Amino acid sequence: MRAVILAMAVLTLYGCGAHMPIQQIKGINGDEYVINRTDKGPFGHLAGVKAEAAKEAAEFCAAKGKVILERYSLDKERAIMVWPETTIYFTCEAPK
């Protein structure tokens, strides 16, 4: 019985945040990247999800010696049966 309860707890916590890796896509203007983050926790909010995604994108570009240029984002606010989610499309540009 304890094993079942532990398995349920682990699976519940595992679903609290979705973290796909940053993906590269080919855009009209060259290489473009996309990052998607979702917070399925009980107190998740869009501002926190968006800040986390933007920070990860900036770190990704910094590792390349570049800076992030956000092209656009698609956001979902928390609602009934809808988790806060953001998808940010960006490029990494040389610093000016």
Q: What is the pTM of this model?
A: 0.72
Task: DSSP for 10-22, please give it.
Answer: HHHHHTTEEEPPP
**How sure is the predictor about 1, in pLDDT bands with cuts at 50, 70 and 90?**
low
pLDDT at position 64 is 93
Res 29: pLDDT? 66
Q: Give the pLDDT score at 19.
A: 66
Radius of gyration of the chain (CA): 16
Cβ–Cβ < 8 Å for 1, 23: no
pLDDT in tens, 10-66: 334 444 445 667 777 776 667 899 999 998 888 888 899 999 999 999 999 999 999
Q: Which tens digit of pLDDT belongs to each residue from 77-88?
A: 888 878 899 999
End-to-end CA distance of the chain: give it in Å, rounded. Answer: 60
Q: In whole angstroms, what is the distance from residue 43 CA to residue 4 CA?
A: 25
